[in-house]
Structure 1
Amino acid sequence: MTGIKTQTPKNNLPADTTSFVGRRGEITTTKRLLSTARLVTLTGVAGVGKTRLALRVAAALHERFPDGVWLVELAALTNGKLLPHAIADVLGIQDRSARPLLDTLADYLTDKRLLLVLDNCEHLADACAILVDRFLCAAPDLRVLATSRHTLRTAGEHQIEVGAFPVPDPPRAKSPSTRHAAVRLFAERAATALPGFRVDAGNCETVARICRRLDGIPLAIELAAVRVRALPVHRILRRLDDYLEFLAEGSRISVPRLRTLRATLDWSFNLCSVEEQDMWVRASGFIGGFDLDAAEAVCSGEGIPAEAVLDLVAGLVDKSILTRDSSGTRVRYRMLEPIRQYGQERLASSGRRTAIQARHRDHYGRLAEQAARAWLGPDEVERYAQLQREHANLRAALRFCLTEPGEQRAGLEITTTLWLYWFLSGSHTEGRYWLGRALESNPQPSPARAKALWLNGEIAVIQADIAAGLPMIEECRRVAQRLGDEVALAHATRITGVATFFQNDIPGGIGLLEDALARLHRLNGAGLWVALFQLAVMTAILGEPERTIDLGEECLTLSHPRAHLSRLWALWTLAIGRWLTGDRQGANQLVRDALRINQPFTNRWGLAHSIEMLSWIAAAEGHHRRAARLLGAADPLWRSTGVLPSTLRYTAVSHEQCEQQTRRSLGDETFTVAFREGTRLTTDEAITYALEPCGHQATLGICSTRP
């Protein structure tokens, strides 16, 4: 049997948009430390280049880490409680169980050779220290590279202080040498802004003086360099001298380099047009980047026409205030964190912060509404992907609503509008967090409160936290009866049925679900599909596969042909029905269709279900090595959700039978080898292998012949 071919290690590192300059010594030191140290923290003042250095090191080390190099950006995260959720988002971990997400993450990382880059930790240092300590104890092959303005103060931490660039002595800078990193950085950024610019004998001393005046701070040098498009270097120096000396007289910032960066940001701000200044300030409210549609919705008005937004954004890109990212399907813009924080300070002092945050909230609230309406329709996938891209902005909108006086009702509306997102993305615990806060802030009876109650209750029930879920469902029922809210009553009945079923009252659970289904048929709402799916799963457990198939067909009928997220679950439901009737060929085709649909989304919950069923089919057809590898391939996917197939009533029996049959056929030793081969597959490799016909070995070099 040939071995498994591996692909390039995974990472989510952003592509460089500008050249990387200097830091050779720091790169070498950091790489060397990470070969033995478990936690390395790059510290230094804002604007000194900690993030760029960390990304450079991470990119250079990716081949050392077969399980990936993963960047987690923390600057926009204000609550340490959401730190595990931010990491789970990056790693693709779904919190579908009631276990603490930190435990699920630690279990997932246990056998991983992975580099985790935690960027901008300073405001969450205590939470980061606790989390990193837990991870390092659980995962011996994990490495963590952190950036922070100060250390995390945890055991085993190695600190590297990232200083400003050394700067040349201007009187000695008589030749056009760019051997100093500060001068080379200025030269390269200036040449980008003004093609043809170079440091020569006529300007080298002036450039050296600019770099020294800016204390060698990379961000400050970059902001000054782009000004060569409008000013010769001697005038840039003169303006900097005048401006920095003026500000130094009244500055209360004690650290000289921080004072220099602040003054450079002030200078850059004042060189922008009034409209560009407004755009800078307003755009600082975005978290994790934004697209042009968002900029036009949030930043236009009060002096900025919507049609002027594109030109203003382009102007800020030219001035290095915004960076442009076109690596995804849409162009996005973002600010480096020191620039964004400066804009936030300006926004707060302008007295317009609440108004801009409200416009931000309105825009992302509309996106949530559009995604909810798109469920089961042709735009379902794109709207879901949009919510994934904007998760950080959605968090910011919810935080504003639930902390700003008078905005709590809007927070309740947005949180409940996101109900399908909480389920589909596997963000169960985060959904409960926001729903819980929204319910606390909105105690008065209302349709939105009734919806939040059944949503929060359902997530709790699905996580097997029935003791927490049922009281919320009962309160929902009382509120709905008082308001005459038939939709909420139907959902309360549906979820009570699920809980009753989980508590082993199978006839009672089925009866309640059938009652809810009849109500939802009359109402014809989005919940109808959910009720059909849940009843289909329960009839499969009950041993009524023909009814499972009928319900699955109805689910499929409700989904548009391009509504891939809902269709994949309808197909899986049909597949399990076919499997239970003994129609292995029909089940095989259906579950492969579901897996192909899921492939672009890599939804681990769906992938685990599909690959798991393909292992059952392989075992039933006598392809036992393939079955063992597929069980192994599904195992890390299951673990990444916090749920195992042996704990789910609709998969437990078939899973156990598959494993026992495969072990008997192969023997424990051969089974273990094949299972481990499966666990080592990347997600893409696992999908490719699962979709190959039995016996095929072209892609991964795995022979799956019968023993």
Structure 2
Amino acid sequence: MSGSANGNGNANGNGTVPAQRPGNLPAELTSFVGRRDELTRVKRLLSEARLVTLTGVGGVGKTRLALRVAQQAQRAFPDGTWLVELAALDDPGLLAQSVRTALALPPQAALAETLRDRRLLLVLDNCEHLQDACAVLAEAVLRACPGVRVLATSRHRLGAHGEHTFAVPPLALPDREALLAARAAAAVPGFAVNPRNAADMTALCTRLDGLPLALELAAVRLRSLSPGELVARLDDRFQLLDTGSSAALPRQQTLRALVDWSFGLCTPAEQALWTRLSVFAGECDLEAVQEVCADEDAVPRERVLAVLAALIDKSVLSCEHRGAGAGARARYRMLETVRRYGQERLAATGGADALRGRHRDHYRGLAERAVRHWFSPSQGEWLERLRLEHPNLRAALEFCVLRPGDAAAGLRMAADLGTYWEGSGTVAEGRRWLDRLLARAPEEDRAGGLAVAGWLAVIQNDPTAAEAALAEAGRLARDLGDARVLAQVALFRGMAAMSVGDLRLSAELYEEALARHRELGDPYAVAMSLFRLALVASTAGDSESAVARSEECRALCEAHGELWARAYAQWVLGVEKWRGGDAAAASALAGESLLANHRIGDRLGVALGLELLAWIAATGAQPDRAASLFGAAHALWQATGSPLAGFGLLAECHETWSAAACGALGERAYLRGFQGGTALSPEQAVGFALRVDRSAAPGREPGAGGARLTRRETEVAAMVARGLTNKEIAASLVIAQRTAESHVENILAKLGFTSRAQIASWATQRQLASAPGESAV
């Protein structure tokens, strides 16, 4: 192919025809859509490295991106940009000859010698089936020819010395939509995206994983199906998307052929693990893969990591690191198209049901372990782990619903996840799972599930359902002699009584729950019973009892390094300080509670913190701030489907002080502030509440004013300035290391800092850093 194919043969502004650039890049037959960021990054990488390999799953657009990079880089290579197409080449012994042919060199020319003094770009396209030969050739040419650079495309890295890789991602959503719209308009005359089909077009883009080839095949199908009909049939995507360009290689003409090719490049062990991994929904970690997918034959447990690495190298899987410190984990993910293919293969082997059973057992065990570790310093890590595994938890619960005889196991799992449903703001979903499983579970296995279902109904302010569930749970627990469920029922009935204003009954039930949980030795339930007793005392105006119960709860939590129940105890203490007229102390306590709940991910706790800070603002002549905080809290109550999270009597404070703020501002100004608050993300809302969000507090410098540190936080800041680690701070203050970490994180957030060095500088400037007994000057 001559250089004219590059489209450079047009006359310039002076009427002359510019010299054609050497090379053989093909002209583009369709528009190039998106990829601006990828183009920039690959060109930068190519300027820094001499061998760059674009990797990615089949159909993701590696070739098209490589050709566009090569086209834009032509000026840097006076001896040309040259494409070597390898997709149809099966014999690695013919690789060098294919390169000579592409470069229009004589058959006997020695590549290294011929290219020694040239400055050119060699594009080796579709190298995956010739990996070793391509690596050897690239290394040999690059060592001998300093002016040559190689841009390769492959489903996995070549493994050559000096190779840099760039994983080509699926198209971003806007680019997906633009590509599908453009190809649909080309395939179907008169087609256009409009309000009637826009949602279905977006669904196509999302469910086809942003793979350009899949989107182009879908566009062709729009000749015979509407976007909605196409979406409805995507579960059978391999049968549906079977008509591509007849000019393409057979393996690039249909979606199935494309993935078949990738599957065929895998070893038997890799193929086995690919099919088994399809049982996971969303992501999974190494522990899950080993427990669910390993066997004694095809993929032994000790070989799982190596086979996973091979599938990552071949772009079947992607890997991301989530979390930090001891809680950091590698997470593996398949594109939905790749996963569907694996599911078809797994179904054909007849082993899908057994594998789904192993999947259910693993995630049921994970839920049980989370309960055992909940009241500990690793509480936040477990909540985050469950949040990451949410799609797999759903898949396991669905299997229990559908498989006869598994409802009891599923019900125990859904009940074990009760605290997760509350903390993650998915109370409505938790109730749905419990209701479905309760309808199928045997009578003798229902008590625990009914108790948790009643609790979640209280949170959602559904007293009728709560009363019925808790009454039945109590009856069954008494018949079975189940002390744990009886203790839970007492606690949850106390919540129900408080939500309707019966403070006497509520206090009696909380005292019963506290006694039962103490006898059972359940520290988390003891802490929650203490918090509830503090709350009912506060509501009844018994400040002394409220503070005493809260302090007892806080001490118990600190002894175990627990943060969540402690945050709720801090909240009650904040309410008491506010009622006692100490707005500054109340704000500090509310801020600590808010930060802890935000870091854990408890949206209900965050909403409570925002509510309290709104009341404080309203009584402190800050009605505009109060309006925004009320709006931010309202957005979270709505998002979680939990009106004041079962704290029914708090509605009185809400109504009183929101009305006061509205009266002070005027209805129009109040509504404007309220709506501004509802528009904030949870992160922005927390930042605004603590005055650490630059956008919410324009012009504020880090560390300047804003929420003040508590006495303990000031003490910790001084220790940070002296160079103490969190472990050393914990030992010095006789607190859990997790509590010390929480203090440091609170300081960072309150001061708007991002590092311990900033804390140290801040503390030193304020002469806080002297060790005890030393002069501060």
Determine the structure 1 residue equivalent to 2:481.
484
Determine the structure 2 residue equivalent to 1:142.
none
- SS of aligned partner of 2:425: coil
Q: Aligned letter for 2:441? A: N
Post-superposition Cα deviations, 1:256-310, rounded to whole Å, max 9, x if no partner, equal: 4598332343343233222111111111111101122222222222222322111
Q: Structure 1 residue 321: deviation in Å?
A: 1.3
Determine the structure 2 residue equivalent to 1:307.
302
Instruction: Decide whether aligned partners of structure 1 residues 542 and 618 sit closer, same or farther in structure 2, where only a CA change above 3 A counts.
Output: same
Instruction: Decide whether aligned partners of structure 1 residues 687 and 461 sit closer, same or farther in structure 2, where only a CA change above 3 A counts.
Output: closer
Equivalent pair of 2:500/2:649 in contact (CA under 8 Å): no
Determine the structure 1 residue equivalent to 2:619.
620
- SS of aligned partner of 1:537: helix
Q: Where in structure 2 are there 5+ consecutive unaligned residues?
A: 1-27, 39-58, 74-81, 90-94, 105-123, 136-237, 245-251, 707-777
Q: Does 1:514 find its partner at 2:511?
A: yes
**Residue 545 of structure 2, aligned match among 547, 571, 576:** 547
Give matches, 1:260-659, under 5 Å: 260-303=254-297, 304-326=299-321, 329-446=328-445, 449-525=446-522, 526-560=524-558, 562-643=561-642, 648-659=647-658
Q: Aligned letter for 1:380? A: Q
Give me the identity figure in percent: 35
- SS of aligned partner of 1:640: helix
- SS of aligned partner of 1:290: strand
Q: Aligned letter for 2:254? A: T
Provide the TM-score with structure 1 as the length reference: 0.63
- SS of aligned partner of 2:458: helix
Determine the structure 1 residue equivalent to 2:178.
none
- SS of aligned partner of 2:329: coil
Moved over 6 A (4+): 163-168, 176-179, 183-188, 196-199, 251-254, 693-696, 700-704
Give matches, 1:125-144, under 5 Å: none
Deviates more, 1:675-684 or 1:561-570: 675-684
Deviates more, 1:315-324 or 1:671-680: 671-680
Determine the structure 2 residue equivalent to 1:17.
none
Q: Aligned equivalents of 1:592 and 1:308: distance in 2?
A: 49
Q: Aligned equivalents of 1:364 and 1:23: distance in 2?
A: 49
Equivalent pair of 2:318/2:334 in contact (CA under 8 Å): yes
Q: Structure 1 residue 314: deviation in Å?
A: 0.9
- SS of aligned partner of 1:332: strand
Instruction: Decide whether aligned partners of structure 1 residues 438 and 292 sit closer, same or farther in structure 2, where only a CA change above 3 A counts.
Output: same
Q: Aligned equivalents of 1:646 and 1:361: distance in 2?
A: 31
Instruction: Decide whether aligned partners of structure 1 residues 185 and 570 sit closer, same or farther in structure 2, where only a CA change above 3 A counts.
Output: farther
Equivalent pair of 2:490/2:512 in contact (CA under 8 Å): yes
Q: Aligned equivalents of 1:697 and 1:439: distance in 2?
A: 52
Determine the structure 1 residue equivalent to 2:101.
202
Q: Aligned letter for 1:518? A: A
Q: Aligned equivalents of 1:662 and 1:553: distance in 2?
A: 32
Q: Aligned equivalents of 1:530 and 1:279: distance in 2?
A: 44
Q: Does 1:690 find its partner at 2:592?
A: no
Give matches, 1:162-201, under 5 Å: none
Instruction: Decide whether aligned partners of structure 1 residues 604 and 201 sit closer, same or farther in structure 2, where only a CA change above 3 A counts.
Output: farther
Could you say what the CA RMSD is over the residues aligned between the two structures, in angstroms? Answer: 4.4
Equivalent pair of 2:501/2:649 in contact (CA under 8 Å): no
Q: Aligned letter for 1:497? A: G
**Residue 129 of structure 2, aligned match among 227, 239, 245:** 227
Q: Aligned equivalents of 1:413 and 1:23: distance in 2?
A: 58
Equivalent pair of 1:591/1:614 in contact (CA under 8 Å): yes
Post-superposition Cα deviations, 1:596-624, rounded to whole Å, max 9, x if no partner, equal: 22343453322222122122223333334
Q: Aligned equivalents of 1:667 and 1:700: distance in 2?
A: 32
Deviates more, 1:627-636 or 1:688-697: 688-697
Q: Structure 1 residue 456: deviation in Å?
A: 1.0
Provide the TM-score with structure 2 as the length reference: 0.57
Q: Structure 1 residue 229: deviation in Å?
A: 1.1
Post-superposition Cα deviations, 1:414-447, rounded to whole Å, max 9, x if no partner, equal: 122212111211211211111122222222314x
Equivalent pair of 1:476/1:492 in contact (CA under 8 Å): yes
Instruction: Decide whether aligned partners of structure 1 residues 226 and 626 sit closer, same or farther in structure 2, where only a CA change above 3 A counts.
Output: same
- SS of aligned partner of 1:426: coil
Determine the structure 2 residue equivalent to 1:3.
none
Q: Aligned equivalents of 2:277 and 2:253: distance in 1?
A: 24
Q: Aligned letter for 1:319? A: K
Q: Aligned equivalents of 1:361 and 1:512: distance in 2?
A: 36
Instruction: Decide whether aligned partners of structure 1 residues 595 and 295 sit closer, same or farther in structure 2, where only a CA change above 3 A counts.
Output: same
Instruction: Decide whether aligned partners of structure 1 residues 165 and 644 sit closer, same or farther in structure 2, where only a CA change above 3 A counts.
Output: closer
Instruction: Decide whether aligned partners of structure 1 residues 289 and 450 sit closer, same or farther in structure 2, where only a CA change above 3 A counts.
Output: same
Q: Aligned letter for 2:467? A: L
Q: Aligned equivalents of 1:388 and 1:509: distance in 2?
A: 32
Instruction: Decide whether aligned partners of structure 1 residues 645 and 480 sit closer, same or farther in structure 2, where only a CA change above 3 A counts.
Output: closer
- SS of aligned partner of 1:324: strand
**Residue 255 of structure 1, aligned match among 217, 242, 264:** 242
Post-superposition Cα deviations, 1:141-198, rounded to whole Å, max 9, x if no partner, equal: xxxxxxxxxxxxxxxxxxxxxx999999xxxx9xx9899xxx999899x9xxxxx999
Q: Structure 1 residue 26: deviation in Å?
A: 8.0
Instruction: Decide whether aligned partners of structure 1 residues 625 and 266 sit closer, same or farther in structure 2, where only a CA change above 3 A counts.
Output: closer
Q: Aligned equivalents of 1:619 and 1:230: distance in 2?
A: 71
Equivalent pair of 1:187/1:197 in contact (CA under 8 Å): no
Instruction: Decide whether aligned partners of structure 1 residues 197 and 414 sit closer, same or farther in structure 2, where only a CA change above 3 A counts.
Output: farther
Q: Structure 1 residue 252: deviation in Å?
A: 8.7
Deviates more, 1:425-434 or 1:528-537: 528-537
Equivalent pair of 1:419/1:455 in contact (CA under 8 Å): yes
Q: Structure 1 residue 460: deviation in Å?
A: 1.6
Instruction: Decide whether aligned partners of structure 1 residues 623 and 451 sit closer, same or farther in structure 2, where only a CA change above 3 A counts.
Output: same
Equivalent pair of 2:567/2:596 in contact (CA under 8 Å): yes
Q: Aligned letter for 1:549? A: V
Q: Aligned equivalents of 2:296 and 2:131: distance in 1?
A: 29
Q: Structure 1 residue 673: deviation in Å?
A: 4.4
Q: Which has the larger radius of gyration?
A: 2
Q: Aligned equivalents of 1:529 and 1:365: distance in 2?
A: 25
Equivalent pair of 1:415/1:434 in contact (CA under 8 Å): yes
Q: Aligned equivalents of 1:541 and 1:453: distance in 2?
A: 28
Q: Aligned letter for 1:298? A: V
Equivalent pair of 1:227/1:319 in contact (CA under 8 Å): no
Q: Aligned equivalents of 1:690 and 1:494: distance in 2?
A: 31
Equivalent pair of 1:226/1:318 in contact (CA under 8 Å): no
Q: Aligned equivalents of 1:165 and 1:332: distance in 2?
A: 24
- SS of aligned partner of 2:319: strand
Q: Aligned equivalents of 2:300 and 2:329: distance in 1?
A: 23
Deviates more, 1:588-597 or 1:541-550: 541-550
Q: Structure 1 residue 664: deviation in Å?
A: 4.1
Equivalent pair of 1:223/1:268 in contact (CA under 8 Å): no
Deviates more, 1:340-349 or 1:536-545: 536-545
Q: Structure 1 residue 204: deviation in Å?
A: 9.1
Q: Structure 1 residue 405: deviation in Å?
A: 3.4
Q: Aligned letter for 1:226? A: E
Post-superposition Cα deviations, 1:603-661, rounded to whole Å, max 9, x if no partner, equal: 33222221221222233333343333333443323332335559953433333333343
